[in-house]
Structure 1
Amino acid sequence: MSIITLTSDIGMQDYLVGAIKGQLWHYCPECHVTDITHHISPFNLPQATYICKSAFAWFPLGTFHFVLINLFDRRPDHVLVAEHNGQYIGCADNGLLTMIAGGMPEKVVKIPLPAHAPKNTFTIIQQLAMAARELSRGKALGEIAPLTQSIHIKHNLQPLVGDDFIEGQIIHIDSFENVVVNITRDQFNAQRRNRRFQIFFRRNEVINQISETYADVPEGQKLALFNAAGYLEIAINKGNAAGLFGLQGFRRDQLTQPTGFQQLSFYQTVRIIFQ
């Protein structure tokens, strides 16, 4: 039985997620469909990358991941299906694929959308489902469409690094309002080189140690740890870090408001100073 995961920015307010699942079972009646999340912030490709990379690694080989993020960034005439780390990823040709894969995936094809079909979510799902059906029956990716490297490329949001600092950006705020920063444990250790450090955020807020669990500090106290996905997290033991400290993740309107870049930098930056 094939596994198909769904990740989207659709939300759960209306019929669309249920209709997508019904459509998938129509074309792949034996598949198991499971949700990763439908609450990605609109247009937030760094957050989508973090969620997808962190979740996909735990699925079995041969899993199909349908990532329905920013599907209509441009008028679509095709969708992408890629083979990467023994799994398959289907998404729009908007740069997200290369962000999730950390570069060009091992194999990728463009699946054309029917010329006279509506350019909507259901047409995209139909083509992805039909591709998944053929692949689950043993076809190679290159047999369902020609392999290509001509796709839209975007790079992951990387921390800024200097000799005595590393500066990251907030990429996700979870349901407990813990704040996830795009600094991994490996990046931190490589830059630290056994030096003391201070983590600065929200003006004068400072943390100078890494905890292993939330319970390492008293209730109501701030802490920093590396979460299960290996990313730096700013949290409060049994509290809401994002709300208390006024921290925000990326919003598209920050880029269009007159003071947007100032706000983006002020709210998103977390800097670690090494001494």
Structure 2
Amino acid sequence: MPIITLTTDFGEKDHFAGAVKGAIYTELENVRIVDISHTISPFHLTEAAYIIQNAYRSFPPGTIHIIGIDSELNPENKHIAVSLDGHYFICANNGIISMLTNEINPDKIVEINIHDRITSNFPVLDVFVKVACHIARGGTLDVIGKSISEIKELTGIKPVVNVDSSQIIGNVIYIDNYGNVICNITKSLFEEIGKGRDYKITARTASFTKIHTHYSDAINFELPSDKREEDGKKLALWNSSGYLEIAIYKSNPSTVGSASTLFGLGFRDTITVNFEK
């Protein structure tokens, strides 16, 4: 049974997500639909790219991923279908897929050209669903589009390394539900540039000289519970996706606060790693 996932900024209030599911079931009764997220911040391409990058690998090969963010068709925002890493991605050519193609070369990219056969002012419902169901039936990408070799790139998703490799300048690319701040510095880049040197991470008013693997690694469990620094403790760690994350232990934006609120960090803000020379 084919799997089709949905990642959109439609939210939960309106009919859009339900209508898309209904259209898929109308085309294909024997299909599984999985919601990755419908609460992407409106038109937030980097946020959507981060979420789909970290979600798709958990699905079996052959899964089809519809990404409904900034999908209105216009001369500068065409629609594409991409075969990559054994999966299919259907979205607008607005840079949203470039976080994936920066790491893995796509097998095939086509610019979707079936719009003249479909009357649509809701492309995710009409165009993307048609393409997804075509692929789910075993159809090829060549039937629904013309091959292209390049796609748009998102700006600000790659960190900058200075000339003497003593500094990495990264940017916040995502803030999760706990207010933890994820930046675009990966563990692999950090190790490649750092080569085991001591370092200092700076994120506005916060600084760190150690990166943990788990949130609880920052807590000294040898101390009695009433003497530990737990709630509100700041830490840096490599998250499960291999990105540098600035966090507050057991954070809650409504009570103890979060890394985003306590340090004043938002999307695209700078996080810097300085290595000893």
Question: What is the TM-score normalised by the length of structure 1?
Answer: 0.84
Alignment-derived partner of residue 186 in structure 2: 184
**Contact persistence 1:168–1:271 (CA under 8 A):** yes
Q: Pairwise mapping of residues 133-152 of structure 1 onto structure 2 (< 5 A)?
A: 133-149=133-149, 151-152=151-152
Alignment-derived partner of residue 174 in structure 2: 172
**Contact persistence 2:180–2:245 (CA under 8 A):** yes
The residue type equivalent to 1:68 in the other structure is G
Identity of aligned residues (%): 35
**Contact persistence 1:10–1:39 (CA under 8 A):** yes
Distance 1:98 1:136 in 2: 23
Alignment-derived partner of residue 70 in structure 1: 70
Alignment-derived partner of residue 37 in structure 1: 37
Alignment-derived partner of residue 265 in structure 2: 247
Unaligned residue ranges in structure 1 (runs of 5+):
251-267
Any idea what the Cα deviations from partners look like across 1:159-215, whole Å, max 9, x if unmatched? Answer: 111221111100111111110010111011111111111111113x21110112111
Alignment-derived partner of residue 210 in structure 1: 211
Counterpart of 1:55 in 2: which secondary structure? helix
Distance 1:144 1:34 in 2: 23
In terms of mean alpha carbon deviation, does 145-154 or 183-192 score higher?
145-154
**Contact persistence 1:79–1:124 (CA under 8 A):** no
Distance 2:90 2:157 in 1: 21
Alignment-derived partner of residue 246 in structure 2: 234
Distance 1:189 1:89 in 2: 31
Distance 2:195 2:21 in 1: 49
Instruction: Indicate how the Cα distance of structure 1 residues 73 and 190 shifts in structure 2: closer, same or farther if over 3 A, else same.
Output: farther
Any idea what the Cα deviations from partners look like across 1:93-149, whole Å, max 9, x if unmatched? Answer: 22323343227632122222534855422x443332222333233333224433333
Tell me whether 1:53 sits opposite 2:65 in the alignment: no
Over the aligned positions, Cα root-mean-square deviation in angstroms equals: 2.3
Alignment-derived partner of residue 91 in structure 1: 91
Any idea what the Cα deviations from partners look like across 1:15-34, whole Å, max 9, x if unmatched? Answer: 11111111111112111111
The residue type equivalent to 1:94 in the other structure is N
Counterpart of 1:146 in 2: which secondary structure? strand
Alignment-derived partner of residue 16 in structure 1: 16
Counterpart of 1:194 in 2: which secondary structure? coil
Unaligned residue ranges in structure 2 (runs of 5+):
219-228, 252-257
The residue type equivalent to 2:245 in the other structure is E
Alignment-derived partner of residue 254 in structure 1: none
Counterpart of 1:167 in 2: which secondary structure? strand
Distance 1:131 1:111 in 2: 8
Any idea what the Cα deviations from partners look like across 1:230-271, whole Å, max 9, x if unmatched? Answer: 111000111211111111125xxxxxxxxxxxxxxxxx1011
Report how far residue 89 of structure 1 moved.
0.4
**Contact persistence 2:111–2:148 (CA under 8 A):** yes
Distance 1:147 1:75 in 2: 17
**Contact persistence 1:222–1:236 (CA under 8 A):** yes
Alignment-derived partner of residue 261 in structure 1: none
The number of residue pairs the alignment matches comes to 256
Report how far residue 40 of structure 1 moved.
1.9
Deviation above 3 Å: which 4+ runs of structure 1?
Answer: 73-78, 113-119, 143-146, 150-156
The residue type equivalent to 1:7 in the other structure is T
Report how far residue 7 of structure 1 moved.
0.8
